[in-house]
Chain A
Amino acid sequence: MSAGVATSVSARVLHPAGGRQVTLIDVLDRLLQGGVVIQGDIMLSVADIDLVAVDLRILVAAANRLASR
């Protein structure tokens, strides 16, 4: 699967079946928008995604690359 970059996580595409890999977008969606939030985190909002303000450029570039496939 061309957009299947997440080769090293266990979560899989369950349907359509066939053991395809999840995309980085699937991972980002959850890790950056879900989970327990603790006060004091420095968060930035870019395109409705709350991103941790450490090094946004890499992340946004990766997301754009995937989205354009």
Chain B
Amino acid sequence: MTLVLYAIVEQDALSGDWLGEADMPLRAVTDGHLTALVRDAPSPPTPDEPGLLAYERTMEKLMGVTTILPARFGAVVDDDAEVRSLLSERHDEFASALARVRGAVELGLRATVDVVVEDSSDAGSGTAYIWELLGRSRRARAVAAELERTFADIVRAGSYRVADEGAAVAASCLVDAEHVSEFVRRVGDLEQSNSGASFVCTGPWPPYSFTEAA
């Protein structure tokens, strides 16, 4: 047997037999005022599609009930004693992370940077290709900076990372629940504003990207 760690919550977050009532295959292991939600399993989880989706579904159910710090998929421990020492050794880290994400959700934003075709005599050559890559990478950094400016006043925290060798910007933002619709509205505005990128916004997610202090 092994214990699969799902999430860390505050001890008083789950009143009564909430887990049982919600038909969740989880149980609580508590140390002080922190509780870990774990599942007894014969072996570590398999990272296949059904396994990952089931994990995410469970996490979304939990985030609908209380503030959670989600564990990375595949986090396993041997027994309850190990869970309790994890909670005690990293108490301050977990407590401040829970305070940081309370009342907020994570939104994902992916900006794909437009390809600009230069009309020049060497278009299609290796040199033109390299120039295009350099230009796109520069534009991606500009898009990342613009995203940061656009959302600064409505996100608690955000990371704006140039990805795919400059072809895209991958952003994760921690957003108060009441600001989600405003966030999505601003994404729509950005797309209308000829910003040189197209956008896909996803969520709300459990705060996977904000479990560590920035």
Contact = CB atoms under 8 A, between A and B. Distances in A.
Given A11-B202, A15-B200, A38-B86, A28 B52 contact: yes
Given A36-B72, A41-B74, A11 B204 contact: yes
A34 B211 contact: yes
Interface in A7-25: 8-17, 22, 24
B56 A15 contact: no
Given A30-B108, A34-B209, A55-B47, A9 B200 contact: no
B115 interface: no
Interface size class of B (residues with CB under 8 A): 35 or more
Contact of B200 (A8, A13, A30, A37): A13
Contact of A15 (B48, B201, B205): B201
Interface string B67-79: 0011111111100
Interface in B95-152: 97, 106-108
Contacts of B205: 11, 30
Interface in B41-79: 44-49, 52-53, 55-57, 60, 69-77
Interface string B151-186: 000000000000000000010100000001000100
B180 to A, nearest CB: 8
A52 B74 CA distance: 6
A11 B200 contact: no
A59 B45 CA distance: 13
B208 A31 contact: yes
Contacts of A12: 202-203
Nearest to B210: A34
Contact of A36 (B199, B201, B211): B211
B188 interface: yes
Given A35-B71, A38-B75, A52-B74, A15 B52 contact: no
B5 A38 contact: yes
A54 B46 contact: yes
Contact of B47 (A38, A41, A59): A59
Given A10-B60, A26-B202, A34-B211, A51 B75 contact: no
A9 B72 contact: no
A9 B74 contact: no
Contacts of B209: 30, 33-34
B18 to A, nearest CB: 19
Contact of B56 (A14, A16, A31, A58): A31
A11 B188 contact: no
Contacts of B191: 15
Contacts of B201: 13-15
Given A14-B202, A15-B201, A35 B211 contact: yes
